Chains A and B, each alone.
Chain A
Amino acid sequence: MSVMEQDSAGAPARASLMNDPKARGIFYQLVLVVAVVALGYFIVSNTITNLERQNIASGWSFLENTAGFGTNQSLVPYSETSSYGRALYVGFLNTLLVAAIGVFFATLIGFIVGIARLSNNWVINRLAYCYVELVRNIPLLLQIFFWYFAVLRSIPGKREKWSIFDTFHLNIGGLRLPKPVWEIGSEWMGYALILGIIASFFVTRWARKRQEDTGQQFPVFWSGVGLIVGVPVITYFVTGMPMTLEHPNFVESGPILRQGFELNVGINVIPEFLALTAALSIYTASFIAEIVRAGIQAVSHGQTEAAHALGLRNGPTLRLVIIPQAMRVIIPPLTSQYLNLTKNSSLAVAIAYPDLVSMGGTVLNQTGQAIEIIGIWMAVYLSLSLITSAFMNWYNQRMALVER
Chain B
Amino acid sequence: MSKKILPLVLGAAMGVAATTAAGATTLEDVKAKGFIQCGVSQGLPGFSNPDAQGNWTGLDVDLCRAMAAAVFGDASAVKFTPLSAKERFTALQSGEVDVLSRNTTWTMSRDTQLGLNFAGVNYYDGQGFMVRKDLGVTSALELSGASVCTNTGTTTELNVADFFRANNMPYEIVAFEKADEVVGAYDAGRCDVYTTDASGLYAQRLKLTNPGDHIVLSEIISKEPLGPVVRQGDDEWFNVAKWTLNAMINAEELGVTSANVDEMKSSDNPSVKRLLGTEGAFGEAIGLSNDWAYNIVKNVGNYEESFNANVGPDTPLGISRGVNALWNKGGFMYAPPVR
Contact = CB atoms under 8 A, between A and B. Distances in A.
B188 A258 contact: no
Contacts of B164: 70
A149 B90 CA distance: 31
A55 B192 CA distance: 41
A358 B5 contact: no
A45 to B, nearest CB: 10
A364 B153 contact: yes
* Interface band, chain B: 35 or more
Nearest to A149: B184
B154 A263 contact: no
A13 interface: no
Contact of A371 (B13, B144, B175): B13
B330 interface: no
Interface stretch (B31-39, B130-138, B310-318): B130-138
A264 B12 CA distance: 40
A393 interface: no
A68 B19 contact: no
B143 interface: yes
B230 to A, nearest CB: 12
A72 B173 contact: yes
A234 interface: no
B12 A57 contact: no
Contacts of A370: 8, 11-12, 89-90
A321 B196 CA distance: 61
Nearest to B174: A352
A20 interface: no
A53 interface: yes
A264 B231 CA distance: 44
* Interface band, chain A: 35 or more
B172 interface: yes
B17 A368 contact: no
B308 interface: no
Secondary structure at chain A's binding surface: helix, strand, loop or mixed?
A: helix
B157 A255 contact: no
Given A47-B12, A149-B184, A257-B192, A56 B115 contact: yes
A365 B146 contact: no
Nearest to A358: B152
Given A69-B157, A354-B175, A362 B142 contact: no
Nearest to B154: A365
Interface string A150-178: 00110001100000000000001100000
Interface in B11-50: 11-14, 16-17, 19-20
A400 interface: no
A238 interface: no
A69 B144 CA distance: 17
A153 B188 CA distance: 6
A49 B171 CA distance: 43
Interface string B155-167: 0011011101100
A225 B296 CA distance: 79
Contacts of A38: none
A377 interface: yes
A271 B188 CA distance: 12
B262 interface: no
A56 B93 contact: yes
A370 B173 CA distance: 24
B158 A68 contact: yes
B184 A362 contact: no
B224 to A, nearest CB: 15
Contact of A352 (B85, B158, B181): B181
B225 to A, nearest CB: 18
A230 B321 CA distance: 71
B222 interface: no
Given A55-B232, A153-B188, A158-B192, A68 B5 contact: no
Among A54, A68, A153, A346, chain B packs the most CB atoms within 10 A around the CB of A54
A350 B181 CA distance: 8
Contacts of B19: 50
Nearest to B145: A263
Contacts of A256: 134-136
B5 A377 contact: yes
B20 A362 contact: no
B255 interface: no
Contact of A362 (B143, B160, B175): B175
A72 B146 CA distance: 12
Given A256-B134, A258-B145, A352-B185, A55 B17 contact: no
18 contacts: A53-B20, A54-B16, A57-B113, A70-B164, A172-B189, A173-B190, A256-B136, A257-B144, A349-B152, A349-B177, A352-B176, A361-B177, A362-B153, A362-B175, A365-B153, A366-B158, A368-B114, A374-B8
Given A70-B173, A257-B135, A352-B181, 14 more contacts: A47-B12, A54-B16, A57-B114, A72-B174, A152-B188, A158-B147, A172-B190, A255-B136, A257-B144, A264-B170, A352-B177, A362-B153, A365-B89, A368-B89
